[in-house]
Structure 1
Amino acid sequence: MFAALSAHPAVSSLGITPQQRMSAAARAYRAKLLETGSRQIDIGDIYRSFSSLSAETQAQLAEAEVETEANICFAFFPCVELIRQAHARGIKIIIVSDMYLREGELRRLLTRNLPADAMQAISKIYCSVDYGTAKSDALFPIVIKECDVPASQILHIGDNEAADALAPHKLGMRALHFLQFDREVADFLRLQHAATSLAVLGQAAQETPALPRYSPFRPVFSVAELQPYAPETMIGYMSFGPVLYAYARFLMDEVEQLQRQGKRVKVFFLLRDGYLLSRACEAYARKPVGNLVRLRKLIAVAASFRTRADVDHYISGIRPEHYNFHVVAEQLLLPRELTEVLLQIAHQSADPQATFHQLLHDKDILGLIFKNSSAYRDRLKRYMLKEMELEQGDTIILADTGYTGVTQDYLTRTFSEELNVDILGRYVLASDEPDRPSNSKSLITTSWCDHSLFEQSCTFREGAVKDYDLEGEPVLEEIRLSDEQYQKVTDIQAECLRFIHDAKTFFAKSGVTHDYSILQRAAHAALFRHVYMPVEAELDYFRNFQHDKDMGTPDRRKTIYDLKTGLKHARGVPSPHRLGTYEARGLGLDAAFSGLMQRAFQLDLAPEDMNVRFSPLKIWLGREQESKAFSLRVPHTHDGYFSVTLPYASGVTVKMFLGEHYEWLQIDKIELLSRDGRVRRDASGSLDLDGINREGEIYRCQSQASVATIRPVDLQQASMPHYYHIVFRPLVLRAQAA
């Protein structure tokens, strides 16, 4: 509430932060205790702590807080029903509150948010500040006396165990402690609350300051029949459900706005991961919304090649880390036999990639690309006209999970003018890349987000479309992912839809309508928490999830994350920056946060900046005629390991004087890597030991003179630089070492 208060014009104009508001209250409590011996303060006392402000400004701030409180609080409908049933049975209803709001202010909040019949059923309101005493002190005896009934005939219900349950029970009253959430749900929401402050780091245009955000869905979780130990509930109901609820509201608002402009809007959800978006929008709107269509990036790009500029546009959009010769050739619709010939020529040059691009510019190669793309384009157009029933002047919305809008971009370039339609994209998640389509919008815009697991959880169980036949019917790939994964996805989707139904029902009963911005922020925080702060149940549930890539052989798929491999990798790198988010989370929140900060702010940090902890290592490099010794400081990485890279040269021997500093150590790996980090060879088998006993990864140095020698390794066709990568962990240091 204080974070929302900080956005109120009267408060934001003075730059008052939630921390200052809480500090003012603490000061007011101390002052009141000294003055009267009581800790009962009102809201005016709180703002009088801002002593540099005028009395008029203090009063304006107090009023701003009451107004904000009224805007945020809501009628919790199970309690409303309880009031109605009690009133119908002739049971008297009173409110007893420990709060810094006086009766008139609290009555304002109740009148604003309670249904009229429930408000009229309340006969009396007791506020602790009006009576100068709290529930845990003397307020309940006052209540009992004024009610003029035996204490045992009063039932008190409240969410504070000490004040609302134990205190009245001691006086003979009946008392129920209202538990809002199960313990595990409460722990989950605590993490979610922490994520709301950090979520600004994942936004394209970062907000300041980073404040906790109001969560509109907490009462839905409180009312729901949750299985807190069921991971599909935690993932589907409590994480993805709020994201999809907000997306459905976003899409419905967009459609309504376009229709008000006189547009003829048609919504198409792109299979496969648009499937759950379609179901979510239908659950939210309580009616069908749009249609499912089989379109994807591979199809849109393949149909776009008319000129050399089209080919270059595609190639220039490939990030270096994603570049793959075979994938590029397949996307350009080149036959596999021709691709192998081109690659054989390219790899004989000093710069294979540049040579490959030059070969693609050959007139005959371009002609083949254009011919195949034209045929592909005709088949795609036939599908679109038949399945999508397009008419000139239509406004088409492509609804998808995101991320860069490539499908929309290429369909627009290829068909927008020819078919005389506007093609818009409305995504769950979109990047802030400068080349993203200008007429695209998203629920969340972010600089970087690994949403692979969310995307896979939205999919439909069928093979991806790879082409269309001459009649425009989709040709699908075989299903590549396991039945077990699809069953888990089905369970998640059921919980997502259950959440949307429950949320719609709850807000309708409570008469609550949220601003879109509140839903958007809650959705962003939920997805952010899922990506950067997954709980143990999520890590285990998604452990074997795979992602089948857009192109390549039928068995091309990848495990989305691998905690065991991530741990091994972390031992050899100075920072978790390059680990996936789930792998980093598996190492601990500190590792996850470190990676997040480096990505969010694009920090210019070198490996040597990451640590001031080193382990010594003396090495010797040389051939028969020449050699040189070095004393190195090897940087610490993770889990007690240290990592060092040593230069490789053909015929050069590397000696490590391990006994000089270590009695016992563990060597995790000795690998020969190429410049781009690919493992060329496991070099641990090329290790000669002198005065060292070995058991698996454990090495015992018998004396200070113990040496491990990496014999010269010969590589065939080693045209680029290579290096040894050694990861070790000291276990017992040599006592006499310097």
Structure 2
Amino acid sequence: MMQDQIRPYELPGLLDRLPAGITTLSLDCFDTLLWRAVNCPRDVFAEIDLPGGAVEQRSWAERSAAARAYSSEKRAEIHLSEVYRRLHPRADETRVAEAVAAELALEARHCFAFAPTVQLIRAAKVRGLRVILVSDMYMHEGELRALLAAAAGPELLGWIDHVFVSCDHKVGKGGGLFDIVLQTLGLQPQEILHLGDNRRADYLAPQKAGIFAYQLLQFDEDAEQRLRLEAAAAMMIDPAARVRRPVMQLHRATIALRSTKDPAHALGHDVLGPAFHAFARWTKAELDALSGKLGRPVKPLFMLRDGYLPHLCFDALYPEAGAKTVEISRFVAARAGLIDMAALEEHVAEWIDRVPLPALGKQLLLGHHEMARFLKLREKEQRPAFRKAVLGHELSRKILQRAANFGTKLEAHLRAAGVEQGDAVMLVDLGYNGSVQNMVAPVLEQRMRLTVAGRYLLLREEQFSGLDKAGMIAAEGYDNRTLHALTTCVGMVEQLCTVAQGSTVDYAVDGTPVREASDLKAGQNATRDRIQAGCVAFVRAEGKAFHRAPASDDLAARVSAATAALARLMFLPTAAEVALFAAFEHDVNLGTGKLIRLLDNDEAARGLRHGGVAAINSVARMHVPAELQAHGLPLNLSLFTTMRLGLDLRAHDFASGGVEVPVIVASAHDQARLTLTALPTIEGYYRLVVPVGIGRYTIAAQLGQIAECVQIEDAHFLAVEEMDAAEAPDRIAAQTVADGMTMLAPDLYATGPTGLVIVPPPPVPAENNLALVLIFRPVRWRKGDAAAERLAA
């Protein structure tokens, strides 16, 4: 940061930097003293009632009015009434005045005085300094004063000695407004310190006039980028954003006050902070509403492990609510939920083909000796035999009795958390299906006569359970395509919210949790701790940057901003964020003991080279957007758009710009020459597909005819019906032999004009029609090649 720039958290020390002789503190108004609760000024226009939305039309009218004023009068500054005369050319003065008043009312609704700037003004007055405002704005002085009074109160207005507005003087800061300030007040330039956020208007212009100035730098570069991308995410997930509704960002002011530069703290503070501050407020509103509906207190129970960070944030805001944590994993919920034969049948049907058989046996409380007889069978016989046995009379009776005993231990665990017979409880978790609630609500209602509700950060039920469930981000506010898109990346959010302990697999008789050993790395836990500390720091600080909260600070605004922040993190992560959780692992739970890498960058790169952009739409790894981040924003936007809108895009829709490759197909008896088109994938790679059927053919791709230097990425055989599958299960590795090609480095060859890549047939005769897939990258095109010339053109 340059010496002439100052960050918001440094404002308390600004007056100590003043050179001798300063008598007047001059402040810019918007984004220095008055901030807006939205992403950018034009968001305010979204609430103007015009057909199709007012943002574009209101902006067009302003540009048109400014152009007209300059053309006719060489005047660079306009008034808001001129904007509305351009927007409504047939309107009379009464209608224009009403439109101006309506916009000013919207400004008053979204504006707030930035507390550090207010404190600076107060400190300046204590020192005996004059305080003035100098603003480039399309309002008259009286209108700006009225806005200040409405947004910040009359006391602040009383501390302002003079207000200079470009609209009244018909000249802006860069065109001579500071000269008018000096003449009007009878001051010398060296008597004024000016502070504002615009580099040209608030630093260069006053410096030109001889005035000492600082630029207020609201955000560091990373925060500025995140906030812009959050606005983009808001518009992606909400069709009304910046059309009928502004893009709300009430958290901007608190983010501006962050002084810590640690990327982990910044991620927690700037991104998770707004999300879980909103979730805490939403949960408290739901808790109060349900308590009022039932006529008795509802006890909030945050579900560990993933409810750990939500609990920290909720407890920081509402310590009086008495929120507790309980350890009810999906694994223990599955055990306790086996209350009758119907529940057992449903659980077996749901999971028998989804988890390893030993893991399912653990869920059903079966011992190793009871599982041994099934695991001795041939693999295709194991699951049918297991299903039949566990649903039979003898084994099902044992399972249900053990589950009942397990329920007694779960009951003890809840009593240790302060839950009593007949209580109303609210299970709070990230979501997204509420599976734990589905499994334990019947047993808790049966054993303890509890009234059970579930409240989730994100709720997208796969079936309508009929239980008392709600989500902060749910179908009431977003369509199911959007909810589905968000759930695909929820594993990353889970890892940022969890606690550094193993999953609960049992309870002692007194309800003490029995946990699996945690295999997560110490580095992962340490990074997560810093992220969570940043999140809680935001929650504790939020609101302190407001001198007085804006009228638009309501729960709906907080939820929409939180949703956009999470959507941005999920689909448009920054490089710094990806670096933080690149080594993270995810615990699958359900008794599998399985850890999955959150990111697999190598596999993602390989998939892109093999399948191109189309491949990203059908990959089912943990956090694909983070894997794509290094390959550029267009891929992330493509994935986000496709998933959000449910677009039916296929591989051939992306097929363009191919290059023709001569190919020889030879058998023991004859050969044929073909010319096939290799289609581009990404980063200069091409995919050549050669049909070989079920015959024993040798393929020779004459890459030397198109390239002087070529990289061979991969070669494999694939069943034709699996050609468009993202993860084809029966890929057969192919051997390659370079002929007429000189190896320069592994997989990199200098090729003569007759250079060939020869691929023998697969070692095992094919049962289905096969195709050879060759992935290559021409590093240097052969001069004179028509395809290369066409591509270059």
Normalised-by-shorter TM-score class: 0.7 to 0.9
CA deviations 1:439-471 (Å, max 9, x no partner) are 222222322220223221222222110112334
1:20-99 correspondence to structure 2 within 5 Å = 20-51=57-88, 54-55=91-92, 56-99=94-137
User: Does the Cα contact within 8 Å between 1:197 and 1:210 map onto a contact in 2?
Assistant: no
Out of 249, 252, 277, the residue aligned to residue 310 of structure 2 is 277
Out of 282, 293, 300, the residue aligned to residue 267 of structure 1 is 300
Out of 425, 432, 437, the residue aligned to residue 396 of structure 1 is 425
Q: Tell me if 1:500 matches 2:539.
A: yes
Distance 1:736 1:294, change over 3 A: closer
5+ residue gaps, structure 1, are none
What is residue 710 of structure 1 aligned with on the other side?
760
What is residue 641 of structure 2 aligned with on the other side?
597
Out of 391, 395, 403, the residue aligned to residue 373 of structure 1 is 403
- For the residue of structure 2 that corresponds to 1:461, the secondary structure is coil
1:662-681 correspondence to structure 2 within 5 Å = 662-663=706-707, 664-671=709-716, 677=727
User: Does the Cα contact within 8 Å between 1:83 and 1:93 map onto a contact in 2?
Assistant: yes
Distance 1:460 1:658, change over 3 A: same
- For the residue of structure 2 that corresponds to 1:543, the secondary structure is coil
Q: Tell me if 1:166 matches 2:212.
A: no
Distance 1:721 1:341 in 2: 39
What is residue 687 of structure 2 aligned with on the other side?
643
Q: TM-score, normalised by structure 1?
A: 0.88
Distance 1:607 1:517 in 2: 40
What is residue 256 of structure 1 aligned with on the other side?
288
CA deviations 1:352-396 (Å, max 9, x no partner) are 97787667655555455434433433332332344342321x221
Displacement, 1:208? 8.3
Give 2:252's aligned amino acid: R
Distance 1:224 1:693 in 2: 56
Distance 1:670 1:332 in 2: 45
Displacement, 1:631? 4.6
User: Does the Cα contact within 8 Å between 1:405 and 1:430 map onto a contact in 2?
Assistant: yes
Displacement, 1:64? 1.7
Distance 1:132 1:57, change over 3 A: same
Out of 746, 753, 776, the residue aligned to residue 728 of structure 1 is 776
1:151-230 correspondence to structure 2 within 5 Å = 151-200=189-238, 209=243, 213-227=247-261, 230=262
Displacement, 1:487? 0.8
User: Does the Cα contact within 8 Å between 1:196 and 1:211 map onto a contact in 2?
Assistant: no
User: Does the Cα contact within 8 Å between 2:136 and 2:172 map onto a contact in 1?
Assistant: yes
What is residue 584 of structure 1 aligned with on the other side?
628
- For the residue of structure 2 that corresponds to 1:237, the secondary structure is helix
User: Does the Cα contact within 8 Å between 2:241 and 2:247 map onto a contact in 1?
Assistant: no
User: Does the Cα contact within 8 Å between 1:382 and 1:472 map onto a contact in 2?
Assistant: yes
Give 1:380's aligned amino acid: L
Distance 1:596 1:641, change over 3 A: same
Distance 1:313 1:723 in 2: 42
Distance 1:319 1:661 in 2: 54
Q: How many residues align?
A: 721
User: Does the Cα contact within 8 Å between 1:689 and 1:709 map onto a contact in 2?
Assistant: no
5+ residue gaps, structure 2, are 1-37, 475-482, 788-793
Displacement, 1:552? 4.7
Q: Tell me if 1:290 matches 2:284.
A: no
User: Does the Cα contact within 8 Å between 2:738 and 2:758 map onto a contact in 1?
Assistant: yes
Larger displacement relative to structure 2 (231-240 or 14-23): 14-23
Displacement, 1:438? 4.8
Distance 1:3 1:433, change over 3 A: farther
Displacement, 1:515? 0.6
Displacement, 1:169? 3.3
User: Does the Cα contact within 8 Å between 2:662 and 2:674 map onto a contact in 1?
Assistant: yes
Cα RMSD (Å) of the superposition?
A: 3.4
Displacement, 1:406? 0.6
CA deviations 1:3-35 (Å, max 9, x no partner) are 654553xx3353342111111000000111233
Distance 2:305 2:345 in 1: 28
- For the residue of structure 1 that corresponds to 2:441, the secondary structure is helix
Distance 1:581 1:319 in 2: 31
Q: Tell me if 1:652 matches 2:696.
A: yes
Distance 1:591 1:439 in 2: 39
Larger displacement relative to structure 2 (718-727 or 192-201): 718-727
CA deviations 1:217-251 (Å, max 9, x no partner) are 22212233232xx2113211111111111111111
What is residue 614 of structure 1 aligned with on the other side?
658
- For the residue of structure 2 that corresponds to 1:301, the secondary structure is helix
What is residue 527 of structure 1 aligned with on the other side?
566
What is residue 487 of structure 1 aligned with on the other side?
526
Distance 1:354 1:20, change over 3 A: farther
Larger displacement relative to structure 2 (706-715 or 542-551): 706-715
User: Does the Cα contact within 8 Å between 2:206 and 2:212 map onto a contact in 1?
Assistant: yes
User: Does the Cα contact within 8 Å between 2:53 and 2:243 map onto a contact in 1?
Assistant: no
Give 2:581's aligned amino acid: F
- For the residue of structure 2 that corresponds to 1:157, the secondary structure is strand
User: Does the Cα contact within 8 Å between 1:466 and 1:475 map onto a contact in 2?
Assistant: yes
User: Does the Cα contact within 8 Å between 1:276 and 1:493 map onto a contact in 2?
Assistant: yes
What is residue 19 of structure 2 aligned with on the other side?
none
What is residue 244 of structure 1 aligned with on the other side?
276
1:319-334 correspondence to structure 2 within 5 Å = 324-334=356-366
Out of 412, 426, 451, the residue aligned to residue 490 of structure 2 is 451
Give 1:466's aligned amino acid: V
Displacement, 1:174? 3.5
Displacement, 1:548? 1.5
User: Does the Cα contact within 8 Å between 1:333 and 1:372 map onto a contact in 2?
Assistant: yes
User: Does the Cα contact within 8 Å between 2:234 and 2:241 map onto a contact in 1?
Assistant: no
User: Does the Cα contact within 8 Å between 2:505 and 2:591 map onto a contact in 1?
Assistant: no
Distance 2:272 2:123 in 1: 35
Give 1:577's aligned amino acid: N
1:506-545 correspondence to structure 2 within 5 Å = 506-507=545-546, 509-512=547-550, 514-545=553-584
Displacement, 1:657? 3.1
Give 1:173's aligned amino acid: I
User: Does the Cα contact within 8 Å between 2:575 and 2:629 map onto a contact in 1?
Assistant: no
Give 2:512's aligned amino acid: E
User: Does the Cα contact within 8 Å between 2:694 and 2:768 map onto a contact in 1?
Assistant: no
